[in-house]
Amino acid sequence: MNHPLLSIAIPTFNRAEKLKNQLSAIHKSILKSKLGHAIEVVVVDNCSTDSTQDSIINFSNTQKSYTFSAFKNERNLGAVRNLGQCILRSSGRFVWLLSDDDNLHDDAIEYIYESLSNNKEIGFCFVNHFVAPIIEKAAININNKDSLTKNISEYIASTMFSESMMSACIFRKSLLSEETLNDMKPGPYQHMLWVLDILKSHNAWVIRTPLFTVIHPGVFESRKFAKKSEYAEDYYLEAHIDFLKYTSYIYDFSLGMSLRIKIHRLIMNENLNQIIYHKITTGKLGYNVASLKLAFPTMLRKFYFNPTFWIFHVPLLLLPSSFARFAEPWRWKYLDLRYFLGKKIKKIINYLG
């Protein structure tokens, strides 16, 4: 049996209209590229209760040049376990986990197909993307060419954890065991552990051309949506705690001091961001006791020896939300100033050099 080179696997739950639009976009893109013989599209419905199945049935009746299959879980497995099902249900050499609401760019599928065709022995492929409404901001630098990374250190230096966005991930299916894909622990970053496991023994291809756009509704809207979903507490703060644990795990690998410092700066910035976002979106006073009990011990272990953590992070975490609301605009002004000064310093160094 000839397997397709690429499976586009879409996990979905109660987003019938978004799924309908995504399938239509993929269909048009494959028709345009004339790559139907090498592409498979798979949908795994995580036991939706809306009209998702109607959207799938209607799309099934569309004439196609590619293989299309759809599956519905007997019960809701949770978002993370459903990713594993997407890969298990796919038959392609490579599986692209594509969200049902990320906007594909023109020629994205053709670009990915060419990249994989020329690099069939890689274990993982990263896909760059924009985050809207800041459309000019790509996840990673687009000035460099697509590249092959040959170890975990090279890969992390190239992407700086941007594979946390699920749709940026294309896995070589044969490198993920059925046990790994079925034995999923709670937490939004399990797929990043898959990436690390693969990169221990295989190269990764980094696509720097942005090929899709993530529509981010903003801090308030995204947190409001999370509260209405399966998550009882602040999902984003708890996801951040999982990310801190993940970054502790990667220190087991040979990363080099300069990369370690870069990672530490990144997670310190993100830690302050998440504290502020949590405080200003959690009630009048900004206290969610369950989330704080979860967050503080992990932050303490991670940043115990960092003075900035005690001077800025801890007070903002423990004081009423009015302090976070006051600090937020000043923080962005500081970051803008730091970015401006950094560019000036680099220009001076390059000039003198």
Query: Residue 40 in 3-state DSSP?
Result: strand
Instruction: Provide the pLDDT for residue 38.
Output: 96
Q: Where does the pLDDT of residue 79 fall: very low under 50, low under 70, confident under 90, or very high at 90 and above?
A: confident
Which element (helix H / strand E) includes 169?
A: strand 169-172
DSSP for residue 125: E
Q: Please compute the mean of the pLDDT values over residues 255-284 and round it to a whole number.
A: 90
DSSP state of 3: P
Burial letters for 38-73: b for 16+ Cβ neighbours within 10 Å, e otherwise?
bbbbbbbbbebeeebeebbeebeeeeeebbbbbeeb
Instruction: Tell me the C-alpha distance between 313 and 144, whole Å.
Output: 35
Among 100, 346, 110, 151, CA closest to 259:
151
57-61, long-range: CB within 8 Å, 24+ apart, which pairs? 58/20, 59/20, 59/23, 59/24, 59/27
Least trusted range by pLDDT, from 52-56, 222-226, 234-238: 222-226
Per residue in 319-347, pLDDT (tens digit) is 888 888 888 888 878 777 877 887 788 78
| Bridge-based pairing state of the strands 6-12 and 94-97 | parallel
Total-model pTM: 0.91
Residue type, 36: G
User: With 90 as the cut, is the pLDDT of residue 170 above it?
Assistant: yes
Q: What is the mean pLDDT of residues 217-225?
A: 66
What integer pLDDT is reported at residue 236 of this predicted model?
A: 85
β-sheet bridge partners, residue 148: 205
Task: Count helices and strands (H / E) in the chain.
Answer: 14, 12
Average pLDDT, whole number, for the chain?
90
Measured distance CA(301)–CA(253) in Å, rounded: 19
Per the model's pLDDT, the better-predicted residue between 340 and 242 turns out to be 242
